[in-house]
């Protein structure tokens, strides 16, 4: 029996409510609002209360996919990463840095957004980075 | 937000404009309810009878896209009655005379004609807001998603400055950010013109600082925004697109155009946790980790940086997005070797003045609101106390402009879009959550009972909604939440995708599309 | 208070009498529910008095029920106040929890909290820390009842109009354990509406609290709209007491709720 409560921040709207995820034997089984986090003080909306539900959805992507003969086909990480980096490199060499563009995300962490724009700017050499701030 | 969420409950007047707060930011609504309980006046300006309107002291229903006129009207009344804060205007602002000249052309009677709001209601709004001890403005995408989005926001800033309702506790201009980390993505420089902390890419000193830190040659050319990227793909100037955790195939206006753009890409990478309609078009799909499967931070709408903590290992072979990005970069020839998100935050803090004092060990408890320039700084609860970021607050003289698309004989109805309480954005997460899906399994169209009767449509009947961009079929829900001549639909549902209909015309500065207004016609589906 | 609880839990864990102890712990600068399985973790155990007595209570007995369903053979300890003990007894009487697998560690609430909660019995039958405080009358119920019938309806309609339909009152409730919930049934209450059908949604829940609600007040604290749900359910409990002389959790757990109509299966 491996049971833990993990304090984290809700991933839905911009309120930023604190909540505990209940983890039992490697699965997130429930959500409990945190009483002491400043935004929500023990309260949540319906989305927050149910945020654990999509985590183990059978529809989650669990393997890299590469389009082969028109269809998305499961691939290893090695192959997918090499292919991705290789194609991006080829396109940069052939058409220049500004022929590549990046959509970062209002869903991923600060640290991840930082790395995405750093990759675009420092590795590829373009400022073509945007995300859905306007949507 | 200029102020923090909790402060709202101490305001004695709250103007909510273009925010369906109970649905989209429920825990902000908590504070609005509390303020109301303590005796605050609540004023709602929204074309729809949203839930907060049930608790409002005054609810005005302006015609779609007429916010500048409404706000100018309010300010005209304030000026005409001398209710403005002259001392604040003199000490803290500039550009007042030009602003005053334009604003004086918006007497309530003229504004009533444009907005459909009664002249007396405009006077009441002006008096309540201006005379309050502490008045807060709360707004959301109902203000920004217009071709005049920037004008709308500037008009709100004018109103706050005119009355000195900013830079103090429980006042301010408070945009509610829609996504959990849209504030953070902006802060982190996921924008074409700035590095982290809004440091411009075309200022040489800043460019040099980042070149030295990243050991790379950097471009000083401002990059493309999403609309520019999409048209670049169609024209062929953009060849490759790397999308992380976004779903433009549903979230962007005129989806048919988006699909054409994405299909034009020579190489499309999508990194996500579900196979979204966007991922279905990709050449490579990389499975990322959900928020429960990694460490990191999110920055909320009040600029509060808070921890995200790993609860479980990524499902299947999925990997944390920061790890994927490092792998791609290293293989691309630019090695990245951070051992943890905490290390990444240390680099962010070194390069970003407003995040300068943020480290993981300080984020336990309540997190930190930026600006937090150094390790001893406690963070900043509200902005613009004593001084605006640019020094003096700048008034803008703003004329009302109608929306890009207006109704005509062929498309005689207005359509506006938004969120519902149980779903989120393109539904990728919520529609994969059984409890939320059960609460609202499909989309619907709000139509005024009068319009419904004229068309012979009853609750649950299928109707076809047609705009200049395309058409969709959806079930009708007759309700007085919308007025005659106005339709509303949520945009979460791929089967009845509202953004097939919406107008991609966008604000010239912010490039934000006009999701909130387009012209359509309604037909009974066969 | 913490030290006495810690000593008791330490003894229970060390003796192997319990597999784990449901308590509260300070973690990352916040207070949350925690399953203590080693005496070494007990340093940061708290009882949920952060700024005021009882201001950081969690539905520990509900978490216990969920875990006991997965591990029915294990014995767990749990921190209980008067209300939590009523919750346990009610869960025993509805066969949701086996009393032989539960070791409560009781604390008595101070007078200040008893009055804030308007709690009839602010202490469990046995407790290791705290002093017995006086029970308190339902002042909030009397206040509402002093209004005219019309104003009373207006008061509740006005409160329910704030509901954002988070279902938090149900989700936090230690005695809401139904597998299917009427509140989610479109046939009874239209799903998808905001606010939910007024007053049907909240009155339906209030009726379902009859013979169940143990007056812990966690629903009230979880409500994002600050609806005074506890007052409503206190009134429901008064009605059941007047009609049936039954208050959930106060008597012998073997005593069934008068509304527990699940008898033996009909013989065919």
How much is the mean pLDDT over chain C?
94
Q: Which residue has the tokens 């109805």?
A: B413
Query: In the prediction, which pLDDT does B298 show?
Result: 97
Residues in chain C closer than 8 A to B23 (CB atoms): 164, 194
Residues in chain A closer than 8 A to C67 (CB atoms): 3, 24
Q: Which residue has the tokens 């935004």?
A: A39
DSSP secondary structure letter of residue C135: P
| CA dihedral of residues B492, B494, B498, B502 (deg, nearest 10) | 110
Query: In the prediction, which pLDDT does C193 show?
Result: 87
Query: Sheet harboring A129-130: ordered strands across?
Result: A71-74, A65-68, B284-287, B267-272, B240-244, A100-103, A129-130
* Chain B: closest CA distance from residue C246 (Å): 34
Which of B187, B219, B225 has its CB closest to that of A110? B187
Domain count, chain C: 2
| Angle formed by the axes of helices B67-81 and B96-103, nearest 10° | 110
Decide if B29 touches C, using CB distance below 8 A. yes
C221 to A35: CB separation less than 8 angstroms, yes or no: yes
In whole angstroms, give the CA distance from residue B262 to residue B241. Answer: 8
Residues in chain B closer than 8 A to C165 (CB atoms): 421-422, 439
Q: Is residue C35 part of a domain?
A: yes
For residue B245, give the chain A residue with the closest CA.
A105
The answer on B335 and B197 residing in a single domain is yes
The answer on B425 and B355 residing in a single domain is no
Residues in chain C closer than 8 A to A37 (CB atoms): 30
DSSP secondary structure letter of residue B300: -
**What average pLDDT does range B515-525 have in this prediction?**
95
Q: Which two tokens stand for residue B276?
A: 């979204």
Decide if B290 touches A, using CB distance below 8 A. yes
Q: pLDDT of B171-188, one tens digit each?
A: 999 999 888 999 999 999
Q: pLDDT of B362-372, one tens digit each?
A: 999 999 999 99
Q: Sorting pLDDT into bands at 50, 70 and 90, what band is C110?
A: very high
How many helices (H) and strands (E) are present in chain C, helices listed first? 10, 5
Residues in chain A closer than 8 A to C33 (CB atoms): 5, 20, 32
Q: Is residue C127 part of a domain?
A: no
Which of B37, B364, B440 has its CB closest to that of C191? B440
Q: pLDDT of B459-509, one tens digit each?
A: 999 999 999 999 999 999 999 999 999 999 999 998 899 999 999 999 998
The answer on B213 and B235 residing in a single domain is no
B418's enclosing H/E stretch is: strand B413-418
Q: What pTM does this model have?
A: 0.95
Q: Cβ of B123: how many Cβ atoms within 10 Å?
A: 18
Q: Is residue B390 part of a domain?
A: no
Assess whether pLDDT exceeds 80 at residue B132: yes
Query: Considering only CA atoms, which of C24, C8, C98 is closest in space to residue C59?
Result: C24
Q: Is residue C224 part of a domain?
A: yes
**What average pLDDT does range B133-143 have in this prediction?**
96
Angle at A72 between CA A68 and CA A75, to 5 degrees: 80
3-state secondary structure of C39: helix
Q: Cβ of C72: how many Cβ atoms within 10 Å?
A: 10
For residue B28, give the chain A residue with the closest CA.
A15
Domain A3-49, CATH class in plain words: mainly beta
Which of B243, B288, B421 has its CB closest to that of A46? B421
Q: pLDDT of B332-355, one tens digit each?
A: 999 999 999 999 999 999 999 999
Assess whether pLDDT exceeds 90 at residue C5: yes
Which of C161, C191, C224 has its CB closest to that of B439? C191
The answer on B51 and B109 residing in a single domain is yes
B 43-82 → A contacts, CB under 8 A: none
Q: Is residue C257 part of a domain?
A: no
In whole angstroms, give the CA distance from residue C179 to residue C181. Answer: 7
CATH number at residue B199: 3.40.50.740
Which of C27, C167, C222 has its CB closest to that of A42? C222
DSSP secondary structure letter of residue C251: S
Q: Is residue B295 part of a domain?
A: yes
Assess whether pLDDT exceeds 60 at residue C10: yes
The answer on C113 and C10 residing in a single domain is yes
Q: Is residue C158 part of a domain?
A: yes
Q: Which two tokens stand for residue B238?
A: 């953009």
SS (H, E, C) B454-473: HHCCCCCCEEEEECCCCEEE
Domain count, chain B: 4
Q: Sorting pLDDT into bands at 50, 70 and 90, what band is C265?
A: low
Assess whether pLDDT exceeds 60 at residue B93: yes
**What average pLDDT does range B25-51 have in this prediction?**
97
C30 to A7: CB separation less than 8 angstroms, yes or no: yes
Query: In the prediction, which pLDDT does C263 show?
Result: 58
The answer on B208 and B356 residing in a single domain is yes
The answer on B100 and B37 residing in a single domain is yes
Which of A45, A55, A110 has its CB closest to that of B299? A110
Q: pLDDT of B159-170, one tens digit each?
A: 999 999 999 999
Angle at C217 between CA C63 and CA C1, to 5 degrees: 70
Asked if B304 and A16 touch (Cβ cutoff 8 Å), the reply is yes
The upper half-sphere exposure of residue B283, i.e. CA atoms within 13 Å in the direction of its Cβ, equals: 20
**What average pLDDT does range C54-73 have in this prediction?**
96
The answer on C79 and C148 residing in a single domain is no
**Percent of chain C at pLDDT above 90?**
88
Q: Is residue C225 part of a domain?
A: yes
Q: Which residue has the tokens 């050319």?
A: B221
Assess whether pLDDT exceeds 80 at residue C260: no
B26 to C164: CB separation less than 8 angstroms, yes or no: yes
3-state secondary structure of B201: coil
Q: pLDDT of B323-333, one tens digit each?
A: 999 999 999 99
Query: Considering only CA atoms, which of B371, B367, B352, B406 is closest in space to residue B194?
Result: B352
Burial profile B392-415: b = 16 or more Cβ within 10 angstroms, e = fewer: ebbbebbebebbbbebeeebebbb
Domain end: B279, B300, B322, which one?
Answer: B279
In whole angstroms, give the CA distance from residue B222 to residue C93. Answer: 69
Q: Which residue positions in chain A have pLDDT lower than 50?
A: none
The answer on B161 and B204 residing in a single domain is no
Q: Which chains touch B (3 or more CB pairs under 8 A)?
A: A, C
For residue C31, give the chain A residue with the closest CA.
A36
Q: Is residue B391 part of a domain?
A: no
* Chain A: closest CA distance from residue C151 (Å): 28
B246 to A131: CB separation less than 8 angstroms, yes or no: yes
| CA distances, B442 to each of A58, B439, B490 (Å) | 20, 9, 10
Assess whether pLDDT exceeds 80 at residue C77: yes
Best of B421, B431, B435, B493 to substitute, by most chain C Cβ atoms within 10 angstroms, is B421
Q: Is residue C122 part of a domain?
A: no
Q: Sorting pLDDT into bands at 50, 70 and 90, what band is C268?
A: low
The answer on B364 and B305 residing in a single domain is yes
* Chain A: closest CA distance from residue B189 (Å): 7
Query: In the prediction, which pLDDT does C245 show?
Result: 92
Beta bridge partners of C24: C33, C46
**Measured on CA atoms in the order A85, A88, A91, A92, is the torsion positive or negative?**
negative
C225 to B422: CB separation less than 8 angstroms, yes or no: no
The answer on B198 and B247 residing in a single domain is no
Angle at A119 between CA A113 and CA A120, to 5 degrees: 90
Q: Which two tokens stand for residue C184?
A: 């989610």
Quote the ipTM score: 0.97
| CA distances, C115 to each of C135, C138, C146, C248, C250 (Å) | 8, 9, 20, 20, 18
Give the rounded distance of the alpha carbon of B176 from its chain centre: 7
**What average pLDDT does range B125-133 have in this prediction?**
98
B34 to C226: CB separation less than 8 angstroms, yes or no: yes
Q: Is residue C191 part of a domain?
A: yes
Q: Is residue B47 part of a domain?
A: yes
User: For residue B330, with 0-12 CB atoms within 10 Å meaning exposed, 13-18 middle and 19 or more buried, which class applies?
Assistant: middle
In whole angstroms, give the CA distance from residue B101 to residue B86. Answer: 16
How much is the mean pLDDT over chain B?
95
The answer on B309 and B162 residing in a single domain is no
The domain in which residue B228 lies consists of: 224-279
What is the domain partition of chain A in residue ranges? 3-49, 61-95, 97-135
Assess whether pLDDT exceeds 60 at residue C29: yes
For residue B49, give the chain C residue with the closest CA.
C194
The domain in which residue C197 lies consists of: 139-244
Q: Is residue B253 part of a domain?
A: yes
Assess whether pLDDT exceeds 90 at residue C262: no
Query: Considering only CA atoms, which of B195, B183, B158 is closest in space to residue B173?
Result: B158
B 418-437 → C contacts, CB under 8 A: 420-422, 435
Assess whether pLDDT exceeds 60 at residue C116: yes
Asked if B18 and B398 touch (Cβ cutoff 8 Å), the reply is no
């Amino acid at each position: 029996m491996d049971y833990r409560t993990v304090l984290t921040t809700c991933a839905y709207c911009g309120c930023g409510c604190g909540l505990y995820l209940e983890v039992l034997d490697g699965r997130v089984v429930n959500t409990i609002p945190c009483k002491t986090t400043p935004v929500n003080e023990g309260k949540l909306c319906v989305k927050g209360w149910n945020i654990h539900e999509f985590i183990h959805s059978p529809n989650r992507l669990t393997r890299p996919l590469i389009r082969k003969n028109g269809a998305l086909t499961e691939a290893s990480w090695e192959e997918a990463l090499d292919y991705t980096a290789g194609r991006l490199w080829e396109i940069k060499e052939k058409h220049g840095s500004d022929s590549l563009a990046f959509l970062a995300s209002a869903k991923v962490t600060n640290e991840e957004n930082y790395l995405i724009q750093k990759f675009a700017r420092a590795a590829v050499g373009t400022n073509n980075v945007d995300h859905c701030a306007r949507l | 937000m200029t102020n923090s969420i909790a402060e709202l409950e101490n305001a004695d007047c709250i103007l909510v404009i273009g925010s369906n707060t109970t649905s989209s930011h429920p825990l902000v609504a908590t504070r609005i309810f509390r303020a109301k309980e303590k005796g605050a006046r609540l004023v709602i300006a929204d074309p729809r009878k949203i839930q907060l309107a049930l608790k409002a002291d005054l609810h005005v229903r302006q015609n779609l896209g007429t916010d500048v006129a409404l706000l100018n009207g309010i300010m005209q009344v304030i000026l005409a009655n001398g209710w403005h804060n002259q001392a604040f205007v003199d000490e803290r602002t500039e550009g007042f005379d030009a602003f005053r000249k334009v604003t004086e052309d918006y007497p309530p009677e003229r504004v009533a004609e444009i907005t459909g709001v009664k002249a007396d209601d405009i006077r009441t709004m002006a008096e309540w807001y201006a005379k309050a001890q502490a008045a807060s403005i709360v707004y959301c995408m109902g203000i920004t998603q217009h071709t005049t989005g920037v004008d709308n926001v500037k008009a709100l800033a004018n109103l706050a400055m005119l009355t000195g309702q900013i830079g103090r506790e429980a006042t301010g201009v408070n945009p509610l950010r829609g996504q959990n980390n849209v504030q953070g993505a902006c802060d982190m420089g996921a924008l074409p013109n700035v590095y982290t902390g809004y440091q411009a890419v075309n200022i040489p000193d800043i460019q040099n600082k980042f070149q030295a830190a990243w050991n790379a040659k950097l471009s000083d050319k401002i990059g493309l925004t999403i609309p520019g990227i999409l048209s670049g793909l169609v024209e062929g100037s953009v060849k490759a697109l790397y999308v992380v955790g976004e779903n433009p195939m549903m979230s962007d206006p005129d989806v048919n155009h988006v699909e054409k753009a994405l299909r034009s890409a020579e190489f499309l990478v999508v990194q996500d946790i579900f196979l979204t309609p966007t991922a279905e078009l990709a050449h490579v799909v990389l499975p990322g980790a959900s928020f429960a499967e990694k460490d990191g931070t999110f920055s909320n709408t009040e600029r509060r940086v808070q921890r995200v903590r790993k609860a479980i290992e990524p499902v299947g072979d999925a990997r944390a997005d920061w790890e994927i990005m490092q792998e791609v970069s290293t293989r691309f020839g630019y090695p990245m070797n951070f051992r943890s998100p905490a290390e990444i935050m240390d680099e962010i803090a070194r390069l970003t003045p407003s995040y300068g004092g943020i480290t993981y060990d300080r984020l336990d408890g309540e997190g930190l609101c930026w600006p937090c320039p150094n390790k001893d700084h406690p963070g900043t609860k509200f902005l613009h106390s004593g001084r605006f970021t640019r020094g003096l607050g700048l008034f803008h003289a703003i004329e009302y402009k109608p929306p890009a698309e207006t109704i005509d004989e062929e498309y005689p109805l207005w359509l506006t879009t938004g969120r519902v309480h149980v779903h989120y954005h393109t539904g990728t997460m919520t529609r994969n959550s059984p409890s939320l899906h059960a609460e609202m399994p499909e989309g619907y169209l709000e139509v005024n009972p009068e319009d419904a009767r004229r068309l012979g449509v009853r609750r649950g009947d299928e109707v076809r909604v047609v705009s200049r961009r395309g058409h969709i079929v959806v079930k009708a829900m007759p309700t007085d939440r919308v007025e005659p001549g106005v339709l509303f639909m949520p945009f979460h549902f791929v089967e009845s995708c509202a953004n097939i209909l919406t107008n991609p015309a966008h604000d010239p500065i912010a490039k934000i599309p006009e999701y909130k207004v387009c012209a359509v016609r309604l037909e009974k589906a066969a | 208070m913490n030290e006495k609880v810690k000593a008791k839990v330490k003894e229970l864990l060390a003796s192997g009498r319990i597999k784990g102890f449901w308590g509260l712990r300070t973690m990352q600068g916040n207070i949350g529910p925690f399953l203590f399985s080693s005496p070494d973790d007990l340093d940061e155990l708290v009882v949920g008095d952060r700024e005021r007595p009882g201001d950081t209570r969690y539905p520990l007995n509900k978490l216990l029920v969920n875990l006991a369903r997965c591990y029915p053979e294990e014995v767990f300890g749990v921190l209980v106040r008067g209300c939590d003990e009523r919750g346990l007894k009610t869960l025993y009487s509805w066969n949701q929890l086996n009393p032989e697998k539960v070791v409560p560690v009781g604390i008595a609430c101070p007078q200040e909290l008893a009055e804030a909660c308007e709690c009839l019995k602010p202490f469990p039958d046995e407790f290791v820390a705290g002093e017995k405080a006086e029970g308190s009358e339902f002042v909030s119920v009397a206040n509402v009842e002093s209004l005219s019938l019309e104003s009373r309806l207006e008061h509740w309609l006005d409160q329910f109009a704030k509901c954002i339909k988070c279902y938090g009152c149900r989700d936090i409730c230690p005695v809401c354990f139904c597998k299917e919930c009427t509140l989610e049934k479109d046939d009874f209450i239209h799903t998808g509406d905001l606010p939910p059908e007024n007053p049907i949604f909240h009155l339906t829940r209030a009726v379902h609290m009859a013979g169940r609600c143990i007056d812990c007040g966690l629903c009230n604290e979880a409500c994002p709209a600050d609806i005074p749900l506890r007052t409503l359910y206190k009134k429901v409990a008064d009605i059941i007491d007047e009609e049936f002389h039954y208050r959930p959790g106060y008597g012998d757990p073997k005593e069934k709720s008068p509304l527990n109509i699940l008898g033996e299966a009909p013989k065919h």
